[in-house]
Structures are given as structure tokens and as C-alpha cells.
Amino acid sequence: MQKEIFNNNIQNMRNYIMFEIKAKQAELTPMLKEKNRTPIALSMGAPVEKVPEYIIEKAKQYLDFDNLHTYSTPKGENAFIEAVKIRMAKRFNVELNSKNEILSLIGSKEGLSNFIRALVNYTEDESKQDIIWIPAPGYASYTQMIKIAGAYAYGIPLIEEENYMPDLDKVYEKFISEGFNPNRLKALVINYPNNPLGCCCDLEYLQHCVDFCNKHNIVLISDNAYCDMYYDESYKPHSALECNGAKDCCVEFYSLSKTYAMTGWRLGWACGNSTGITMLSRMKSTVDTGIFKVLQYAAADLMKSSEGDVYIDKQNIKFKNKIQKFVDGLNSLGYQIKMPKTTFYLWVKIPERFSDCVEFADKLLEISGVVVVPGVAFDKNATRYVRMSVVASDNDLEEVIKRMKEDGFSFD
Ligand SMILES: Cc1ncc(COP(=O)(O)O)c(C=O)c1O
């Protein structure tokens, strides 16, 4: 079969970077083991913690129910939808209509990708493509999801001097001055807490995003996958749906992956604007048939339980200590890293002597067995950064610092 018979975008696309890195890690493992440098992955955002015992027990119980083994629906089981409704009200004071404002997802990656496909009109003619603004740096999948949907991703720089909260009116002026037709702008993606920066935003900024989208009649896609990972009450993440007018423009995406260390369970939800939810539901009904009912029922119980809330609090204390220790370790090697306010990501500036982030990441893997992600995966201009996911065990994190010191990866 000729690959040319396939979709042009897919033909020219590489595998998702995290899986490419994983494959490279697997290929080098025998050599690394031989020199006592068994790989330690700080690449994917996948915590290695145990999932809550509570959901394991619940899932075991539900497995014995005869009526939970058939197809679910893309919308999700009522029990799951009601649990989301309760959670959104309790956590953010956001009231949702379970009839048409909530939808189950097979993880938020699936939801974001299908939502974008449902939103834009496919064309390969770049001059006519719909445009979606995305954070730069931002989740590595956004650009590719938008590309395969036949649209164009326009990166908005997130910079420290602006506290990672760019003035969207200024971005719009720049966008126009660069010759883009504003009628092509379809949506704004925001991601606070942000992967890979670990930064967050305040409610006032979310209102700015909502007002901007309503003013320009575009969709606000709020990716809130990390809303439960914070280390200081004063930076507790908000929902964009708390803002005035949010339900006119916003669909927000949630995930159980990071909150409960359940990346493999593939559970999440979308909520917000009813038209957006209806269109996504229509799209999903043609490409999937929902989530295994057992998982939905168990997750619904977890989201409503005090055990789930206790787990989140304990995890945040654990991560705070783990990340702080690792930040201190890196800084003892001459790096100048600040403790992130949210998420488990560190955005690490690389030493001058490396030509770019790809060289640094390659050498760190090949010499020390430490797996990190080059910054260019998140922003094509981020050539001097790598992302480290602080998800390994405490022992492994100590070992990373030791190896970096021994193998010549100190900052200066
Ligand atoms: C910003 C962001 N959004 C969405 C996702 C997707 O998560 P999941 O599909 O596991 O819900 C990730 C995963 O790393 C992410 O970093």
C-alpha cells in the first residue's frame, strides 16, 4: 500500500513526540542498563503514584454487575454525569444542566481533539484555514490536533514578564498587523494550570478571556486537566465557567488522569456551552461509543467521595515535597528553577554549552539515562528549554541529580 493514498497531514506527521521518546528509551535501555544508567523517565506527564484504593474496590464491585458490560453512550451514564455536576458545583460553584451541558470523555485528549474536529472546516489551503489560538509553550498535542483537523494553530507567547497572562486585545492587534484575516479566527485555547510552564492564572484573567471570546464571537476552549494540582491555596485553580458570560462561549475539558494518577483509565469530561456540548456529542457518537460503564460508575463514586478529596490533598502535599526537593537538587547543580505553583512540570533552561534542547535531551538520555522532553515539542521557539515531569519516585529523582552531577550536566 502506498502511503500517498492516506490523508496528506497524516502522511507527513511524526508519531506523537512522547511515544517517539518512549520508543527511543526502550531501544537504548539494554545499553544504559549495562553501564548502570537504567532509564528514569521524566518525560510523560504520568504520575507513578498508586490510584485511590477506593476506586479499585468500587471497580471490583461493579465488575460483578451483569448490566454494566454493554455499550455505554458517548454522553455517559447518568451516574457519571450527576457526579460531574456535583463536583463542578462543589469545587467551583458552577451550576450545570446535566441534560445538555456535560459530556463524558475517553480522557480529555480525545475530547479536545474531537471538539476541534467538530469545530473547524477542513481545508488544506493554508490561506483559507480556520485559525485557533493556542498557548506557546503549550501541550504538545494541540498543534497536531489542529493540523489534522485542517486548521492552523497560532501560538500566543506566554511570558514571565506578563505573568503568563497575555493581554488578548494586544495579541489581536498583532495578529491583524501580521495580515491574518480575523474572520478565520475560530477559537482560543487556554490551559491554566499550564503544561509545561506550571503557571496558573487568576479569575480576573479568565474573565478577560471570556469577554474577549464573546466580543469576537469565538469559542473558548479551556483545558483544565491540572485543576487539582496546586501547592498553595492562594493559587488554587479556577474554572473559566465561574466567569460572567462563560456559558455563551466556553467549553471546558477535565480529566481524572492527573488528579487521581489514573492516566491509563481514560476518563474525563467536557462541560459548558450547550451547543458546543451537543456538537461534540454528535461528533463522538460517530467515532466512539462511550466509556466502559464499570469505570464510569466507579469514577462517579470516587468524585463524590470524601476519600477522593482526601487523596487529592495528600497527593498535593506529596508532590509539593517531591518537587521542592528536586528543584533544590537541580539548583544545587547551578540551575535556577523556581518551584511551580501548579502541575508537576519544570521548565528548565539548558546550559549555554549545548547547541539546543534536542542535543541536551539526547545526551542526557544517551549518557545518563534520564528522559526529558525538548522544549520545541511545546513551542517551536523554545530551543533553550526542556520539560521535566517530576513524576518519578523520590529515590529515582535523587538518582537523577546524582547522575547529572557525575555525568557533566551541571549548569556551569
Ligand atoms: C494540558 C493537557 N491537556 C490534556 C491532557 C490529556 O490528558 P488525558 O487525555 O489523560 O485526560 C494532557 C496530558 O498530558 C495535558 O497535559
Alpha carbon distance 109, 63 (integer Å): 26
CATH of region 3-50+309-406, choose from 3.90.1150.10, 3.40.640.10, 3.50.40.10, 3.30.1490.20 = 3.90.1150.10
Contact partners, residue 267, CB within 8 Å, separation at least 6: 104, 105, 106, 107, 255, 256, 257, 291, 295, 296, 299
User: Tell me, what's the pLDDT at 14?
Assistant: 82
Nearest CA to ligand 1 atom 5: 109
Number of H helices, E strands in the chain: 14, 12
From 139, 252, 269, 379, the mutation candidate for ligand 1 (largest count of ligand atoms within 8 A of CB) is 139
Nearest atom, ligand 1, residue 138 CA? 1
Domain boundaries, the chain: 3-50+309-406, 67-305
Pick 8 or 275 by higher pLDDT.
Answer: 275
CA-to-CA separations, 238 to 39, 228, 343, 382, in angstroms, rounded:
36, 10, 14, 27
Give the long-range contacts of residues 358-364, CB within 8 A, separation 24 or more: 360/386, 361/386, 363/409, 364/404, 364/409
199-211 mean pLDDT: 98
Span 50-102, pLDDT tens digits: 999 999 999 999 999 999 999 999 899 999 999 999 999 999 999 999 999 99
Which residues, judged by CB distance below 6 Å to any ligand atom, belong to the binding site of ligand 1?
45, 107-109, 139, 191, 195, 223, 225, 255, 257, 263, 268
Q: Are 410 and 363 spatial neighbours (Cβ–Cβ below 8 Å)?
A: no
381-390 mean pLDDT: 97
Q: How many CB atoms lie within 10 A of CB 390?
A: 23
The CATH class of 67-305 is: alpha beta
Alpha carbon distance 192, 204 (integer Å): 13
User: Tell me, what's the pLDDT at 259?
Assistant: 96
Nearest atom, ligand 1, residue 111 CA? 9
User: Tell me, what's the pLDDT at 15?
Assistant: 82
Contact partners, residue 142, CB within 8 Å, separation at least 6: 112, 132, 134, 135, 153, 189
89 CA to centre of own chain:
22
Confidence of residue 20 (pLDDT cuts 50, 70, 90): confident
- Spacing, Cα 268 to ligand 1 middle (Å): 10
Span 344-366, pLDDT tens digits: 999 999 999 999 999 999 999 99
Q: Are 308 and 52 spatial neighbours (Cβ–Cβ below 8 Å)?
A: yes
263-279 mean pLDDT: 98
Same fold: 3-50+309-406 with 67-305? no
In the block, which residue shows the cell 466512539? 288
- Spacing, Cα 256 to ligand 1 middle (Å): 10
Q: What is the mean pLDDT of the chain?
A: 96
- Spacing, Cα 147 to ligand 1 middle (Å): 18
